[in-house]
Amino acid sequence: MMNLNVTIDQNSGFCFGVVYAIEMAEDILEEHGHLYCLGDIVHNDEEVKRLQAKGLEIISHDDLLNIRDANVLIRAHGEPPSTYQLAIENNLTLVDASCPVVLKLQNRIKNSYDKGDQIYIYGKHGHAEVVGLLGQTNDDAVVFQELEELDVASLPKRITLYSQTTKSTDNFYNIKDQLTAAGIEVNANDTICRQVSNRDKELRDFARKFDKIVFVSGTKSSNGKVLYNICKENNPNTYFVSNKSELDIQWFTPKDSIGICGATSTPMWLMEEVRDELHSF
C-alpha cells in the first residue's frame, strides 16, 4: 500500500446551472422513465451514461426536426430562438433547464441587438452556449476565440463586447484593454459567471497545497481544459483523467499528498470514485 493522503476540493464539481438541469432531468425520468435531451446534458461522458441508464436519450438538432408530441430537455447552455419556434411547430413540450445566468445574457444581447449595437462575443466557435447567444442576433454578431482572429484596424469605432459565461475574466479584460488601446470605444459587458471565474483563484491555491493533483473532467468540457491548465501552471505534477480507470500508479510515490479537483461539469460521485481508487493503491 502506498498510503496516499487524498483530499477532494469541495469547491469543484457541478455549478448550480448544471445541478438545476440534472435535477430537472432526474425528476422527469423518475416520473416517466424517458426524456429526450437536446445535446449532452453536461460535458461529462460518465454522468451522461448514468442518466442514459435511467432513460435519458440524447438527440441532435437534426433529430429534433422529426420528433413530435414529446418532452425535450433544454440543457444549461441554452438554445437559440429557432429551437423554441420548432417546438411550437412540432408540438413539443420543452423542459427548459437553461442556466439563469445564460438566460440573462441572452436577454442582454438581444436588447443590444435590437438597439443596433455592433456586437462582438468572446467565446468558443460552435459551443452550444455561443450558438444560443448568436441566435439572439440572427447570427449577425461576431464570435472570436482569440483577439488575433479580428482585423482590429477594420473594426467599427464603437463595439459592444460580451463574453461566453465560462471564459477567463483576465482574458476578457485584456481583450477590452487592447481594443481600447487601438482606439476603439468598447462597451464591455462582463457577463462571466462568477461561480466559474472564481474557481481560477481557488484552484491556484488548492493546486499548490499538494504533491500531486488529479484533475477529473470530460474531454469535451471547455471549462475543464481551462481549469486543468490553471492547475498545471501552479503544480506541474497535475494529471488529467476522465475516470478512475485512467489513473496510473506510476504517477505517485508512497505517502504523497494528492488533491482531486474537477470542472463545473464534473460530478462529485466521479471524483469520489477516483479518490477511492487512489486509496486502493
Catalytic (active-site) positions: 129
Continuous segment of H or E residues that includes residue 206: helix 194-208
Handedness of CA 137, 139, 145, 149 (dihedral sign): negative
Determine phi and psi for 5, rounding to 5 degrees: -100, 105
Neighbours of 90 (CB within 10 A): 15
Residue 117 three-state SS? coil
Cell numbers of 126, please? 460552435
The full DSSP string for 9-21 is -TT-S--HHHHHH
Q: CA–CA separation, 134 vs 78, rounded Å?
A: 11
CA distance 165 to 222: 11
DSSP states of 58-96 as a string?
Answer: EE-HHHHTT--S-EEEE-TT---HHHHHHHHHTT-EEEE
Three-state DSSP at 62 gives helix
Is residue 36 within 8 A of residue 71, CB to CB? The reply is yes
Single-letter code of the amino acid located at 51: L
